[in-house]
Structure 1
Amino acid sequence: MIFKKKSSAAQAVSSSHRLGLRELWTDRLGSWSIRSLQVLLLLTLISVTVFALTQLKLVVIPVLIALILAAAASPLVVWMRRHGVGRALSAWVTLLGGILVLGGLITAIVFAVQDQWSDLSDSAVEGFEQLKSFALDGPFPIDQDALDEAWNAVVDFVTSATFGLGAIQGVSAAAQVVTGILLGAVILFFFLKDGDRIWEFFLRPMTGERRDRGHRIGHTAVRTLGGYVRGTATVAAVDAFGIGIGLLILQVPLALPLAVIVFLGAFIPLVGATVAGILAAVVALVTNGWVVALIVLGIVVLVNQLEGNFLQPVVMAQSLSIHPLVILVALTAGTILGGIVGAVLAVPIAAVGWAILKTWNENGEKPAPAGKKLK
């Protein structure tokens, strides 16, 4: 009897111990622990994915750029197909037309720079001498020896092995850029020609609601990306036209290249157009003096205010309805991961992600009204 009582007591202790282990993972703290582990696993997966994408950026960046450009050109391709133009021909016309426009723009910039380069270089030397005189004789004079030491440091760096290694790395980077451009052109052609078929291929294993959601995601991504690029191009063209006209009236050298830089800079929200406008003001300062530089700066501020308060809310309302803080965070993350190209791609990717989240269950089951039970 004593042995049986001891055995029963041991079983009770063992049973309570097993129940305690079970409760350890099923109580509130245990549920939070499991959720924390899930979050950590998800963050680890995201980190590994981002690391892998950054290592393959020579392929990832051309694919993303080609996808964005194909989405922007999709209305033209669809219009040509509706009027009897074949898939391959419509893709070739769109691709070659874009290359011709881009090539013509680059040619105009090169000729403009060649025509005004000598005047600009002379004005730059004169402006540098003025800045040097201001630094030596201004209200906060700098010692001549300090300037000479700084200049000698720059010369030593340029003639050092470190600069030569950087130049070699620059050549390697240029080769990667050329490779990326060629790869992006090929990918863009196939996206223009068979973009819908490629997406259908990925949706083949899905059925029912999952397939419908896949179609919604595809349409949403193309609509958002295309609207973003077309809207940004419209805003950028207005910025470049306004600032370019002001530079021409004020007879600032390189007005056309500076207007193109403003146009390209506008594709980086919040900071791109402003930085490009400041660059135009610096050129005006070097070549035309303080008064013209201040006028150019005023034109830049005025154009940016008109664009930000009147044009952008109308043009970008549907394609970029995300908070400026999200844009700033996306810009920072994109710049860290991909440099200038990452900054350009970060905002449209964030906009597409937000649009997909909003339409994820657009045609799915809606929650039952309050006070009613689901059958």
Structure 2
Amino acid sequence: MTPAKPRDRKPPGALWADGLGRVGIRSAQVLLILAVAVVSVYALMQIKLLVIPILIALILAAAIGPFVNLLRRRGLPGAAATGLAFVALLLLLAGVGTVIYFSVRSQWAELAQQASSGLDELEQFLLTGPIPIDREQLNQAREGIIQFATSSQVRSGAITGLSVVTEFLAGSALMVVILFFFLKDGAKIWNFFLRPFSGQREAKLRRVGSRTLEVLGGYVRGTAIVALVDAVAIGAALLILQVPLAFPLAIIIFMTAFIPLVGATVAGILAALVALVANGPVVALIVVAVVIAVNQLEGDLLQPIVMGKSLQLHALVILMALTAGTILAGIIGAVLSVPMAAVIWAVIQVWTAEDPNREDMNPDLPPPNSQPV
């Protein structure tokens, strides 16, 4: 007589076959992916002195790569074209830094005197203005600022700032070396990483490399055009209004414009503060109006025309990338986060065969599901 079989016994794996089981599997997969991403980001942050120079060098190489290719097509050898473009970029950066230094140095005494007068006017306004503030409260606020400036917290911050400067110099030197080799042997380096792959996967990875350079180069060149328009427009307004340090402020506006959404606005606020201290509230309000008008021109006209193809990201995605980059790596993270997000989106499009620029990028690619020749 055979024993009776249990009624509710399910075959192995049946618990994962229903709806709840499938949700559990997907949840475990999502958690695993998130854990890998968090560990990867944490590991990269431990070696950010290497990662950040590599990313900056890659962006610069993508931006000036077409200039190197143009020199090569004109008959220059690869090493000579790379060296010429490399030296031109270094001279440009050094020239900008030199101009900022001497401009600030030549107008610093005048600005300090105007700032002192402006602070005296501000103090007089606080004493006689609609807000009831007496001199005793002002003296207490001044003493509190002096105590904070001489505290151990500020001194420890100065030591931290010195280490940051040291890291910046070391990272800059490393970035220069990496940039030179990217310009000189970028194709060879990418081919070395593609050696383990073949077939359709190799074709996709080659498209990933091409799209990465295309997106980064287009982003940098488009941002440079927008930043130049911002700097020229706001700088011209500062010159007409006779605001001190107009030229250095214009250069700062140009550089901060590489931080999308907020960079040029923050620099415009800095220019308005300088105008408030040196020229009074009326000129400061005019500067604010100019900054707002230029930002509207940038957002409604320049950005869609100049960067419509290279930066196909929603404003919310840009804001989230800026926030994450700033939290992880400060100002450098804010500058690098948006182009990196654009690259990630372009890679996803290539890998899922939804890249809108696929045929324009390389019309000789084989059709999907076929082996390349």
How would you bin the TM-score normalised by the shorter chain? over 0.9
Deviations 1:88-138 (A, max 9, x none): 222221111111111111111111111111110011111112222222221
Q: How far, CA to CA, are the matches of 1:48 and 1:146 in structure 2?
A: 50
Which residue in 1 is equivalent to 2:107? 116
Q: How far, CA to CA, are the matches of 2:141 and 2:226 in structure 1?
A: 41
Alignment of 1:1-375 (within 5 A): 4-5=1-2, 8-9=3-4, 12-13=5-6, 16-19=8-11, 22-362=13-353, 365=368
Deviations 1:53-87 (A, max 9, x none): 11111111110000000000110011112222222
Instruction: Point out the structure with max Rg over C-alpha.
Output: 1
Q: How far, CA to CA, are the matches of 2:159 and 2:254 in structure 1?
A: 31
Retained in 2: the 8 A contact 1:217–1:359?
yes
Deviations 1:24-45 (A, max 9, x none): 1221111110111011000000
Q: How far, CA to CA, are the matches of 1:351 and 1:53 in structure 2?
A: 19
Retained in 2: the 8 A contact 1:87–1:194?
no
Deviations 1:157-185 (A, max 9, x none): 22222222111111111100000000000
Give how far 1:154 is off: 1.9
Q: How far, CA to CA, are the matches of 1:274 and 1:229 in structure 2?
A: 19
Q: How far, CA to CA, are the matches of 2:253 and 2:16 in structure 1?
A: 58
Q: Give the alignment's TM-score, normalised by structure 2.
A: 0.92
Give how far 1:312 is off: 1.7
Q: How far, CA to CA, are the matches of 2:293 and 2:18 in structure 1?
A: 61
SS in 2 for 1:359: helix
Q: How far, CA to CA, are the matches of 1:308 and 1:41 in structure 2?
A: 39
Give how far 1:16 is off: 4.6
The one-letter code matched in structure 2 to 1:351 is: A
Q: How far, CA to CA, are the matches of 2:305 and 2:184 in structure 1?
A: 31
SS in 2 for 1:17: coil
User: Which has the higher mean CA deviation after the structures are superposed, 265-274 or 76-85?
Assistant: 76-85
Retained in 2: the 8 A contact 1:213–1:361?
no
SS in 2 for 1:252: coil
Unaligned residue ranges in structure 1 (runs of 5+): 367-375
Q: How far, CA to CA, are the matches of 1:135 and 1:321 in structure 2?
A: 48
SS in 1 for 2:13: helix
Q: How far, CA to CA, are the matches of 2:126 and 2:319 in structure 1?
A: 35
Give how far 1:355 is off: 1.5
Q: How far, CA to CA, are the matches of 2:32 and 2:299 in structure 1?
A: 41
Unaligned residue ranges in structure 2 (runs of 5+): 354-365
SS in 2 for 1:141: coil
User: Which has the higher mean CA deviation after the structures are superposed, 114-123 or 304-313?
Assistant: 304-313
Give how far 1:52 is off: 0.9
The one-letter code matched in structure 2 to 1:123 is: Q
Q: How far, CA to CA, are the matches of 1:130 and 1:364 in structure 2?
A: 72
Give how far 1:341 is off: 0.5
Retained in 2: the 8 A contact 1:113–1:257?
yes
Cα RMSD of the aligned pairs, angstroms, is 1.5
Q: Give the alignment's TM-score, normalised by structure 1.
A: 0.92
Retained in 2: the 8 A contact 1:335–1:343?
yes
SS in 1 for 2:9: helix
Write out the 4+ residue segments of structure 1 that deviate beyond 4 Å after TM superposition.
none
Q: How far, CA to CA, are the matches of 1:213 and 1:130 in structure 2?
A: 65
Give how far 1:260 is off: 0.5
The one-letter code matched in structure 2 to 1:103 is: A
Q: How far, CA to CA, are the matches of 1:77 and 1:307 in structure 2?
A: 29
SS in 1 for 2:75: coil
The one-letter code matched in structure 1 to 2:9 is: H
Which residue in 2 is equivalent to 1:371? none
